[in-house]
Amino acid sequence: MHFLLIDHDVVARTTLKNHLSAMFTDCKISEAPNGAQGLFQFFKKKPDLVFLDMLMPIMDGRAVLDALYECYRCGQIVKKPKVVLVSMLDTMQIDQMHSLADSALVATVVKKPVTRNLLQQIEEFFPRPSA
């Protein structure tokens, strides 16, 4: 399983990386400090699940979601990306920024700080290794 963490906050990325590494010992984790570099990493690494911060400099989470969706819609991405939005905002505030109902890519939304217990609660959205 391969995760991509896109977040400008180094502490948030490191914490999430540590939790994921402890939960999934054989996983791969790529990181990006903003949306532009996150998109580059997405196309380079082809992760199974993306953890995406909504509020970032250079390119925010909404722009990343829009770019991923457009690439999927046009066939540049064959497998539909699976995204977990991570933010200090609550779901209603995020929905005001980007209608989650319209986003076919968003699996769920989690509020920072991300804890291991929170990750275990949303584990149903994580891709399962193929047997």
* Digit-coded pLDDT (tens) for 4-20: 999 999 999 999 999 99
Residue 65 burial (CB < 10 Å; 0-12/13-18/19+)?
A: buried
Give the right CATH number for 2-125 from 3.30.310.80, 3.40.50.2300, 1.10.357.10, 3.40.50.10470. 3.40.50.2300
Q: How much is the pTM?
A: 0.88
> What integer pLDDT is reported at residue 55 of this predicted model?
85
Give the pLDDT confidence of 54-73 residue by residue, as tens digits. 889 889 888 999 899 999 99
5: exposed, middle or buried (C-beta count within 10 Å: 0-12, 13-18, 19+)? Answer: buried
Domain boundaries along the sequence of the chain:
2-125
What pLDDT is stored for residue 59 in this prediction?
92
